[in-house]
Amino acid sequence: MKKYAPPVLILIIFEAVAASLWLSKNNIFYLFNFSYIGLSISLGMFLYIRRYKHARRVVQLLVGLYMLVYLGLVRRENMQIEGFWYYLFTGVFEAATIHYAVAKIFGPLIFGRGWCGYACWTAMVLDFLPYKTPAGPRKKLGWIRYITFACSLLFVGALFVFHVAHLEDIMFWAFIIGNVLYYAAGIALAFAFRDNRAFCKYLCPITVFLKPMSYYSLMRVTCDREKCVSCGKCRRVCPMDVDVTDNSRKRENGTECILCMECVKNCPRKAL
Ligand code: SF4
Ligand code: SF4
Ligand code: SF4
């Protein structure tokens, strides 16, 4: 039973967050929201422990679809980065800002890029494409993410500077159009570079938050150098080109690890 302690612990943590936000903000939505996400993640961990090979994909679909369809389309919460800027500028500490604080700014100090591996609705679709591991070497295009990041900030900043009306409607349509553009760019890049995660590596503006915070992540895959025979299998199955055999924080592409566990599952020496 000891092996089931991590999913139980995750569930307890999420329930604690759910209950605290529910009581402090007097809004039962938070109880439902964080309980659902906690249950989904715990279920995925449980399935992983039971060696179900699609465990990660189950969580990705449960959380990603919930955020995209229910929070985005039904509740009209813009959970894209534009939504984060919008709620930040209006001073409203509600769903989008809480979501960013938990999943993308402070959470990565604990669970690194877990969001990218288990919850992102953009990657949820990209991971269905045929290039699970990159077919070629990494391109030096990571700078593009700073442009998309700046564009999102400028776009929302301009709405406030020019006192544009109907901001709630604009943010809803920005969410829809933004997602369509992200999917189109993500799919085009995946086929162009033969790499499902090319969008994550070069374009995604959220990585501007995710990368520096996940550098300090508590949860990370480490290598037992005594067992490792340097066969390189872990590197070949990694979708993010991480050199997981290097235990230092400065490992190559270390801030890109999405904790998918493909390297762990495929290491012939159980060194990870
Ligand atoms: S890098 Fe961006 S698009 Fe990729 S999984 Fe993370 S948040 Fe989603
Ligand atoms: S797959 Fe395992 S044994 Fe091979 S290089 Fe990676 S950690 Fe070492
Ligand atoms: S294969 Fe390993 S190193 Fe690569 S992203 Fe997945 S967990 Fe991280």
The pLDDT of 100-128, averaged and rounded, is 91
| Alpha helices in the chain, H assignment, sequence order | 5-25, 28-49, 55-65, 81-90, 95-99, 108-111, 114-118, 121-126, 144-161, 167-193, 198-202, 207-214, 233-237, 262-266
198 lines ligand 1 (CB under 6 A): no
User: Are 200 and 243 part of one and the same domain?
Assistant: no
Encode pLDDT of 206-262 as tens digits. 999 999 999 999 999 999 999 999 999 999 999 999 999 999 999 999 999 999 999
How would residue 78 be classed by pLDDT, with cut points 50, 70 and 90? Answer: confident
Q: Specify the pLDDT at position 47.
A: 93
Tokens of 244: 């997981």
CB 271 near ligand 2, within 6 Å: yes
On the question of pLDDT at 96 being above 80, the answer is no
Residue 59 lies in a domain: no
Mutate which of 116, 209, 214 to test ligand 1's pocket (most atoms within 8 Å of Cβ)?
116
Total structural domains within the chain? 3
**Token pair for residue 142?**
């990571």
Q: Measured from the CA of 182, which atom of ligand 1 is nearest? A: 3
Is the same domain home to 148 and 173? yes
In this prediction, what percent of the chain has a pLDDT beyond 90?
Answer: 74
Share of the chain above pLDDT 70, in %: 99
If you take atom 4 of ligand 1, which residue's CA is the nearest one? 200
Q: Is residue 152 located within the same domain as residue 173?
A: yes
Query: Which residue segment(s) compose the domain that 41 sits in?
Result: 1-52
Under 8 Å between Cβ of 107 and 209: no
**In this structure, are 227 and 204 located in the same domain?**
no
Output the pLDDT for position 25: 81
260 lines ligand 3 (CB under 6 A): yes
CB 244 less than 6 A from any atom of ligand 3: yes
Q: How far apart are CA 229 and CA 234, in angstroms?
A: 11
What's the 239 CA to ligand 3 centre distance in angstroms?
Answer: 7
Same domain, residue pair 39 and 148? no
Flag whether 225 is in a domain. yes
Which among 116, 120, 66, 76 has a CA at the least distance from the CA of 96? 76
- Does the beta carbon of 116 sit less than 6 angstroms from any atom of ligand 3? no
116 lines ligand 1 (CB under 6 A): yes
CA 182, 188, 191, 194 torsion-angle sign: negative
* Whole-structure pTM value: 0.91
Test site for ligand 1: of 63, 120, 240, most ligand atoms within 8 A of the Cβ = 120
Q: What span, in angstroms and rounded, lies between the C-alpha atoms of 97 and 84? A: 5
Same domain, 206 and 224: no
pLDDT tens, 146-197?
Answer: 999 999 999 999 999 999 999 989 999 999 999 999 999 999 999 999 999 9
The answer to whether residue 164 is domain-embedded is yes
Instruction: Among 166, 189, 214, give the residue marking a domain's end.
Output: 214
Residue at 67 is within a domain: no
The pLDDT of residue 54: 92
